Structure 1
Amino acid sequence: MHHDPLLPPAVARALEEYGALLAEHGLTWGEPPLDYVRMMTFLRFPKEAERMSVAPGADLDAAFRDVLGETLPDGLVALRVTPHGHHFDPGTVHAVVAARPVEVTLVVDSSRDTATAVTVDGRPYEIAARGALLVDVRSDSHVTVDGVPVDLSPLRRHAVPSRLRLRAGFPCRWSVTSKGGQGWYPEGVPRRLDYHGRPFFHGDDIVLDVPAEPLTVQVTRGMEYDWAETTVVPEPWGETRVELTPERIYDAAARGWYGADLHVHLNWAGDLVAPPAAAALMQHGEDLHVLNLVAGNVSGERVYDREALQHWAGRDLPWSDAGHIARMGVEYRNDLFGHVHAFGVTAPPMRYHTGFGGEADWPPNGAACGEMRESGAVLGYAHPFHRSIATPEDIIAEGRRNCSARAVVVDAALGLVDGMELLHFSDIEGTVEVYRRLIGAGNRLTALAGTDSMLSFTRQETVSSPPGWERVYARLDGPLTAEAYATAVRRGRTFATTGPWLELSVDGHQIGDTLNLSPGDRVTVRARAIGPEVERVEIRTADGVLAEGGGGELTAALTVTEPTYLVAVASGGGHRRSLHRQVYAHTSPIYLDVGGRHVARGEDVRWCLRWLVLLEELVRGQARLEGEGQLRDHLDLIEKARAVYRARL
């Protein structure tokens, strides 16, 4: 019997299980309702979700309804229930050219002082007095209010059909929109939206049904390319060919650099089940050199894509080629101490998470890191921080289980992790501030990037953007392999970026190198950024900004008196090439050792020592631990890290 190489039997069975969970529970797949699970439904409308009040025990459907303005966001329709009846507001009317129903989210908004019975496709709901309900519907759904049918026909208008054939000459990311920004997709393709709400799909030589109306066609291929765009009015009932090729801005591989997204989930709850073939199509369509698909849990025991990891651990995934490597990896998760991504694992780990469902926050993250390190993995703390950070107190805060990388101060000092994601879906400035404190305190940490894209979501802020919208580029000495990439990361030969190309050199030495200097030596530092979105370039030492300027090239001289490091930063405001609220790139350091001493800036070392004091208080006061032995395991690692930092003073 012939098996699809992308669907080994165990993987196929797992996907069937996920499909059953989706059918039974909807978007959350029945995961325990931690805060981020409860918010999944609402994050499809990020501007509204940001304004919601999400206090513990809050009615989130009503909180969402309360922040809606007069104009509904795209994809949302409203059913207003009044004391005198009901009114359906279709929001943006969708054009249709075939029998496929329109899929939208319905908010039921009751202004009645009594409860109301609503059914959606036979499923009953009771809407509390002045309450609300958020539920997914289709234009052919059967919805009733107190038994009275709701007319959903205003959702659609019929348009004259036509067809488009799209060609670029290689796999790309396409966006086809008609008036009002409505997206058009090939038959059977998920209707994905990126961070900007822009529809997209991947491939080449693609045919899709469209209306015979003015259309905007856009195409790109990941961050090394710009967007190309054209407008077209297809012939009624005919087929119109569009040949459009995006222009390359830079070619990293030609320079020996390869970009990776080290943190991507195939399945992690969501509105569809994503097979491995979806990842293959996206990786090639984004020209993403290295893709790390991580197995991980959400809020319960189930580890999604564990079967794929068990099948492919230590091997390239079947669609890999000379310019594209895909591997199965791990996201090890503890919400109190932080999450760690692992690339290049050769065997599944013994454990994937701690601290969920009432289980103990044990063993410490460092123990799990050590185990995954033994299997050859490169490790990085994932989405480390989610707010501005000025002091160690900001890191510990009130000790909420919010995935902050509180244990990185220990694991970095003990050499148990290789780096941290400077770029991720959340706050960049706070993360970068902590990173500079850690490397200033003498820790050798590589700048990494991981989007946390989840291919099982088609629209949810950054999560539904394609993999590789942030990347960590690493400089290799030879051909692209997983092992060569891992080696380059361990050596710190990287920069992380939302799009711009970023270079840094010191007297000809490259990112990741160490110069051995004497007091009074003078060096020349050069930084260069490429990309239309760059507005500012900085060169920084452990003491702060050495030089700054607009986009382009920057040169500075430095007379060295103390050990330090040098990094380059490129930044800018929002830009269509960036699937984040800002543009940003940051290199790993070039280290300047002086008189045989490595950088260990006193202020940064004391900052980390204060962090350890607060971390110990957190462990003693808020970690779920079973017995003195588990507490001692945590405190022993903290004490070992404390000894490392004290020695650096």
Structure 2
Amino acid sequence: MQTSFGFWRVLVVSAGLVVSAGTQLTAHPPEFHRERLAHLVRQEQEPTEADRQAAWFALEFLTTLVGRVGSPLADEAVAQAIDEHRFATKSPAATPLADLERRRREIMESLRERHGTILVAWDGETVSVVGPAPAIVVARGLDRHLIVELANATDAPARLTVGISGTMLQTEPWTVLPGRTQPFLVELAGDAEAGVIPRLEIGQEGAGDVTVMPLGLRVVEPARVRLRVVDGDTHQPVAARILAAGGDGASRHAGPFAGDPTFTAKPILELPLPRLRRLPFFYCDGSAEIVLPPGECRVEAERGYEHAVAGETLSLAPGESRDLTLTVPRIFDAAAEGWISGDTHVHWVTNAWNVDLPLEALGLVQRAEDLRVVNNLTLFHRTARDAFVKPSQAPVGPVIALCRDGYHLEMAEEYRNENLYGHLCFLNLRWLVMPIGTGPGIAGDDSIDWPHNRPAIEEARGQGGISIEAHGTGGNHEPPVNVIHGLTDSFDQLAADDYERFLDCGFQVPLTNGSDHPARVTGAARAYVQLDGAFDYEKWIDGIRRGRTFTTSGPLLFLDVDGHTPGDTVSRDPGDRVTVRARAVSRHPLGTVQVVSNGVIIKEETTEETTAELTVELPVGESRWIVARASRGGGWNAIERTGIAHTSAVHVVVDGRVTFRRAAVDDWIMRMRAHARDIERRGRFATAEQRHEAIGYVNEAARRYERLIIRRSTPPAGTLDETRDDLLLAVDHLTPRPEGAALRAGLAAADSAAGLSAVVQPLVVLNVDVNPESRVKLIAASPLPDLVVERTYRFLLEVRNHARIRAPLRLIATDRSTTPPRAAPFCAVRIVDSIASSSFLSGQELEWKIVEVRCTAMGLREVHIEADVGQGTQDLGFRSAADLLMKGVPARRSTAYEGNQL
């Protein structure tokens, strides 16, 4: 996936001056034909073909500029280029022509002021400079960019040749539309000899004469800044991201990666055309020598989202050297509050994707970005010309040498199918899940879409890993399928409206984020995960499983609902009220901060401050989800632009029933039916059985969504089929996931409730029996397996409710080895409220609950579990207890980094 510009560059050496220029699309934008030139006269009706061609030319100029110039106006130029492309391609999202042209004029005026321009007019016979030509200063050895604007004052297209000192800058003339002004970028770089004045030469295609205009160029010696960056707390040298802008306003690169294009440019992903954007910053390990054009210069240092930007403006004379120390102060210590940043999705390879970069360089970038956890994902890609498995610097697991000083680097995997199923990030693996990639576009055009993603997810889960939907819902429709099957641990890059649609179905899957480097800068969007106690990667992974996250491209955003944080489930009565608090901290003005519940904005504040706190008392009324979000400049998806944050949800549950919105369920069903048809039509399989299984997985998901509708719209009938359906859904949400095929076959063959119970009995750790007099008995069933410390497990609890009572069921874990007994500090036990389980007894005679167990300490211990049925009554008939043996064991991973504490 080599990214390249869509234009060519020519270097010319003339009298010691190096000149380059980019012609737009070599000669013409798409669908631009010379024989049509005479017809491209602007008409009164809008938009015309000439308007669209003007948009193509503007797109090419702007992308040329941001690809070559470290312009402080790059963000605005990219945004305008995207608008130009939408207009040129007749996108439904296109900006109206009047607005587009107004914004085009505004960005051009800003670019003229920043980078300088020469305006040249064509009257049909000659060209002439309009107004005084600017004084051009070039620092010896450094490039300088100049905008040349060609104004066509005639009513016909002009094809003009442009050269410097006798050498043409393009293979074909530049076309300037009638009545319009077209900008082009000229790059001046190198060492000019004293007294030599380069000439700008412009003429008409086919004409022998050219107009010669001397350029007022002055060459001066560059200035140098010897930079040192120190941490605001320790006052020791620290890695940082550096922006250094010279006297010409353009940024320059220095440091160890200054000559590496992977570190100096990234693709403009919003454009379907291959275009690169020059990065305005570089990385240093605590010191750097920066060469800049003299004049008013600006040098800034930053270190991720928890530090303020440190900067200083310098007035530098030609040839001057200056020492500068920048101290980067911390504005917030997220780790001290239990929040650890991470990038779930990095491929540490070059922009070409098929060449590894040194992991030591990633370690420097990780520290410069203050990104505590980086997951470096191996992927497989095969084309007719190339095949590679990259990155491949180390086997899966922690990179021990770089897991130190509170930073963790983990090798993991991206498992991909482009044709149908989508991409998945597998973290916390012990070995790669094969075949790593399937289907055309990933494994080669001759490959098949098999196996589908489900077996791969189950294998990753079996290793103790998690599966993250890598690109939101992407162009495929598999995420809602995986979610209802209990196979999604979190969403990366998910649009806010899709996230709300999942929440409206009652799902409790959190948000995470990853940059997908080299597509973006490492850490461009990241996840913060809440941990208890000291950092450990297993804890970080389990924090994602538990939903304790927020995602951000700038602001730090914290949500609290009656003392509960994202990922928590809060049981309340309809008449209760909850206190919701959202707190935001940012290096830059926040913009808009919102608290949203069930799709309704319940509190909002717009501010230019860098901190905000919102508090609102919310009547419960019904089951609801609650999130907080922040945005500077619009949009709520942190992967799309800077200055956005979004928390995962806190879930408020009434009567054990999670949030449900019929419209959201219907939408996912519609998408899945379309997905099944897509597999039938486009899927490539070796056998009919493979196709049938892939489609069957999707159809079963749609059926389960339909079952959600039935469960919420009609009272339970207690039929065998209904009980079997509910049990299947619960079993798919257990961890570790039981062997699927044999279990499903056993449940399908069961012809009675007792038969269902017999099939799942090995998965049941506790039995609750409520006799006809409503007396409760709790019995330990299957013994717990060894539990990896800081890993959440889910088992079944079977309820035989002979009294048919409807009441909440609570579990309390107690350590009875102390006097008096206390809440067990070494474990957490709860009954899950979700689409697959409820902490309320439904009144059915036989039902199953999901019980969640997490062990937090090594060794063998006995935990006393008390079951409480009812409204907290002290009547012992409503309480019972049983003892479970619980053995905490370490994960089967290297422990060489156990001292890696924050």
Q: TM-score normalised to the size of structure 2? A: 0.54
Change (3 A) 1:106 1:113: closer
Give the structure 2 partner of residue 452 of structure 1. 516
Q: Give 3-state SS (helix, strand or coil) of 1:620's partner.
A: helix
Aligned counterpart, 2:247: 179
Correspondence 1:142-221 to 2 at 5 A: 158-169=219-230, 170-186=238-254, 189-190=258-259, 192=264, 199-203=280-284, 204-221=286-303
Letter in 2 for 1:228: A
SS at match of 1:606: helix
Query: What is the CA-CA distance between 1:129 and the residue it aligns to?
Result: 10
Alpha-carbon deviation of 1:612? Answer: 1.7
What is the aligned partner in structure 2 of residue 60 from structure 1? none
**1:515–1:591 contact (8 Å) kept in structure 2:** yes
Q: Does 1:254 align with 2:339?
A: no
Match among 494, 506, 528 for residue 442 of structure 1: 506
SS class of match (1:528) = strand
Once the two structures are superposed, the pairs formed by residues 549-628 of structure 1 within 5 Å of their partners are 549-550=605-606, 552-573=612-633, 581=641, 583-628=643-688
1:315 Cα offset (Å):
1.9
- Does the aligned pair in 1 maintain the 2:597–2:627 contact within 8 Å? yes
The code of the aligned residue for 1:372 comes to A
- Structure 2 residue aligned with 1:64: none
Contact 1:48 1:68 in 2 (8 A): no
Q: Deviation at 1:410? A: 0.3
Per the alignment, residue 540 of structure 1 pairs with 596
Contact 2:414 2:436 in 1 (8 A): no
Change (3 A) 1:238 1:139: closer
- The equivalent position to 2:437 in structure 1, one of 346, 352, 364, is 352
Q: Is 2:553 the partner of 1:507?
A: no
Contact 2:252 2:292 in 1 (8 A): yes
In structure 1, C-alpha distance between the alignment counterparts of 2:116 and 2:376, rounded to whole Å? 31
1:586-625 residue CA offsets vs partner (Å, 9 max, x unmatched)? 1111122222223333332222222222222222233344
Residue from 695, 704, 722 that aligns with 1:644:
704
Give TM-score scaled by structure 1 length.
0.72
Please tell me the residue identity of whatever aligns with 1:163. Answer: R
Pick the aligned partner of 2:312 from 217, 230, 253.
Answer: 230
Structure 1's 524 and 287: CA in aligned 2 closer, same or farther, altered over 3 A?
A: same
Name the amino acid aligned to 1:437: R
Tell me if structure 1 keeps the 8 A contact 2:559–2:581: yes
CA RMSD of aligned residues (A): 5.1
1:522 aligns with 2:563: no
The alpha-carbon distance between structure 1 residues 180 and 135, as it changes in their structure 2 partners (threshold 3 A), is closer
Alpha-carbon distance between aligned partners in 1 of 2:187 and 2:352, rounded to the nearest angstrom: 16
93 and 513 in structure 1: CA distance in 2 versus 1, 3 angstrom threshold: farther
Match of 1:414 among 466, 485, 488: 485
Q: Give 2:776's aligned residue.
A: none
Query: Residue 494 of structure 1: CA displacement?
Result: 0.3
Aligned length: 572
Return the letter of the residue paired with 1:499: G
User: C-alpha displacement at 1:284, in angstroms?
Assistant: 0.8
In structure 1, what is the Cα distance between the partners aligned to 2:225 and 2:598?
A: 55
Q: Which moved more, 1:357-366 or 1:404-413?
A: 357-366
- Unpaired stretches in structure 1, ≥5 consecutive residues: 1-17, 28-38, 57-66, 119-123, 386-402, 424-430, 455-462
Change in Cα spacing, 1:106 to 1:407, as seen in structure 2 (3 Å) is farther
2:85 to 27, 48, 52: 52
For 1:275 and 1:77, the matched residues in 2 are separated by 41
What is the alpha-carbon distance in structure 2 between the residues aligned to residue 367 and residue 104 of structure 1? 56
Kindly provide the CA deviation profile for residues 533-565 of structure 1, in whole angstroms up to 9, marking residues without a partner as x: 223322222252333334522222333343322
1:241 to 323, 343, 359: 323
Q: After alignment, is 220-229 or 93-102 more displaced?
A: 93-102
| Separation of aligned partners in 2, 1:246 and 1:622 | 53
Structure 2: how far apart are the matches of 1:377 and 1:259?
19
For structure 1, which segment, 157-166 or 500-509, has the greater mean C-alpha deviation from structure 2 after superposition?
157-166
Of the three residues 437, 447, 454, the one matched with 1:366 is: 454
1:283 paired with 2:347, answer no
Paired residues for 1:460-479 under 5 Å:
463-464=519-520, 466-479=521-534
**How many Å separate the matches in 1 of 2:634 and 2:228?**
29
Question: Partner of 2:449: helix, strand, or coil?
Answer: coil
Q: Distance in 2 between matches of 1:627 and 1:318?
A: 47
State the shift of 1:646 in Å.
2.6
Rounded to whole Å, the distance in 2 between the matches of 1:512 and 1:528 is 17
Distance 1:525-1:301 versus aligned 2 partners, 3 A rule: farther
Deviations 1:432-452 (A, max 9, x none): 101111122122211111223
State the AA in 1 paired with 2:531.
L
Residue number in structure 1 paired with 2:469:
381
Among residues 417, 426, 435, which one is paired with 1:342 in the alignment? 426
Change (3 A) 1:55 1:213: closer
In the alignment, which residue of structure 1 is the partner of 2:95? none
* Alpha-carbon displacement from aligned partner over 1:471-500 (angstroms, at most 9, x marks no partner): 210011133232221111111000111211
Equivalent-residue separation in structure 2 for 1:321 and 1:49 (angstroms):
42
The one-letter code sitting in structure 1 at the alignment partner of 2:227 is L
Distance 1:211-1:543 versus aligned 2 partners, 3 A rule = closer
**Deviation per CA, 1:25-78, whole angstroms, max 9, x where unpaired?**
999xxxxxxxxxxx9x8784734355237879xxxxxxxxxx999788999999
Q: What's the secondary structure of 2:398's corresponding residue?
A: coil
Report if the CA contact (8 A) 2:500-2:599 is conserved: no
- The answer to whether the Cα contact below 8 Å between 2:138 and 2:189 also exists between their aligned partners in 1 is no
Shift of residue 510 of structure 1? 1.7
Report deviation, 1:293: 2.5
Which stretch of the first structure deviates more once superposed, 592-601 or 270-279?
A: 270-279
Displacement of 1:288 in angstroms is 0.9
How far did residue 307 of structure 1 move? Answer: 4.9
State the alpha-carbon separation in 1 of the partners of residues 157 and 380 from structure 2.
Answer: 41
Three-state SS of the structure 2 residue aligned to 1:409 is: helix
SS in 1 for 2:481: helix
Q: Distance in 2 between matches of 1:498 and 1:407?
A: 26
Q: 1:114 to 1:181 in 2, by over 3 A?
A: closer
Q: Indicate the structure (1 or 2) with the bigger Cα radius of gyration.
A: 2
- Counterpart code for 1:436: E
Give the Cα separation in 1 of the matches to 2:489 and 2:502. 12
